[in-house]
Structure 1
Amino acid sequence: MALSHTIKLMELSDAKIAQLTSDSGASPAYSASVDLPGITKITLSPKADMKKLYGDSALLDVYQKTTEVELDIECSLLSLDALKVMMGGTVTDAGTTPSQTTTYSLQATNSTPPYFKLEGQWTYAGDGIGDGHVVLYKCKVTDPPQIDLNDASGNYGTVKFKAIALPATSNGKWFDLVLNETKTAIS
């Protein structure tokens, strides 16, 4: 029996990003994946350019072509390593116990956001489906991360950012939605 083509979108349980290092040849190449911890939401919104052809006092044709995919991502935890992948910048560890520090720095000389791959996994996709994955091959931040910090009387803070997906030059793909019969971890 073939795997179902209808899926449920529940239990987003993992997401990783990796910096795009090459977009030529048969497929894109990436750095090692970095966890987006506490992922709570990935929203994909394909956008299209549409043209209408009128003539003889009537609509004769409609042309539509996907031009981009907008992304809205939300996490409940902040990863300095993920900030580096999506925004540029550096992460520096210093000191020894009990005086260690970790510093994320964004400076004018390293503040150009690189392209990155985003992959998310949801583990409740339906009967007979182990999990589902969304893979976006070439993304860039369009609205830098908004980091909400709250005091003890409020709720936990969140990290929200927007990105855009373009088709990768090497494979022409904006994204894949992959269903696995057996649950498969993000590589």
Structure 2
Amino acid sequence: MPIQRFTKMYGIQDAKISPMLTDPASGTPTYGTPIDVPGIKTYEISGEVEVKTLRGDNKKLDSFSALTNVQVSITHAKMSLDVLAAIIGGTVTDSGTTPAQKTKWGLTGSGATFPAFKLEGVTPPNGTDIIGGDVHVVMHKLTCSAFPDLGFAEEDYRIASFTADASPLISTDEWMDVVINETAVAIPSS
């Protein structure tokens, strides 16, 4: 007997971004090593629908609706230079020796490419109706739709965030997957 197809969604425990390497017309997309989104707080998905209405004889005769965009909004507690490089481009470099080490994310005009990436988030175990289970939400191909919110906040923590638009994969036409697992499964690390 299959597991139930509905569940509560409580909390988010982890999220990872995987840079998209290829999306061939025939074949399977490939991704780089997943990067942790540190301190993930929210993973929100919304969609835009275009509706066309046919009117005649002074009344509504029919309507047609089509999904035109899916957008993801993410907030996370800690800024990550690796996440910035994965979602808007640029490079991260490490230099120096203790006690003068530093790491730097740099963005140049030619490096501001807004590359495609995959995003996967997961509830904590028991964050679903199934005891010991979890829910994964996978967006297969995203591209940032605005510059990420960064900066500082006076006498408070600054929460990092970004928004991205989904596109269907060229190779498989997939946009997203929502997976309910009977037994909790970690987001793959490779």
TM-score by length of 2: 0.93
What is aligned with 1:56?
57
Structure 1 stretch 157-166 or stretch 141-150: which is displaced more? 141-150
Tell me the alpha carbon deviations over residues 103-153 of structure 1, each in whole angstroms, 9 at most, x when there is no partner.
0001111011100001001120113461000000110001111114234xx
Contact 1:38–1:77 (CA under 8 A) maintained in structure 2:
yes
What is aligned with 2:16?
16
Aligned match for 1:144, one of 115, 133, 147: 147
Unaligned runs of 5+ in 2: none
Contact 2:134–2:180 (CA under 8 A) maintained in structure 1:
yes
Q: Report percent identity of matched pairs.
A: 37
Task: List aligned pairs for 1:1-187, cutoff 5 A.
Answer: 1-24=1-24, 25-123=26-124, 124-128=127-131, 130-151=133-154, 154-187=155-188
TM-fit CA distance, 1:46: 1.5
Question: How well do the aligned residues superpose, as a CA RMSD in angstroms?
Answer: 1.2
Structure 1 stretch 63-72 or stretch 85-94: which is displaced more? 63-72
Unaligned runs of 5+ in 1: none
TM-fit CA distance, 1:2: 2.3
Contact 1:4–1:129 (CA under 8 A) maintained in structure 2:
no
TM-fit CA distance, 1:26: 3.2
Q: Which runs of 4+ in 1 moved over 2 A?
A: none
2:131 and 2:104 map into 1 onto residues whose CA distance is 45
Could you say which structure has the higher strand fraction?
1
Alignment coverage as a number of residue pairs? 185
Contact 1:48–1:67 (CA under 8 A) maintained in structure 2:
yes
| Inter-CA distance 137–30: structure 2 relative to 1 (3 Å threshold) | same
TM-score by length of 1: 0.94
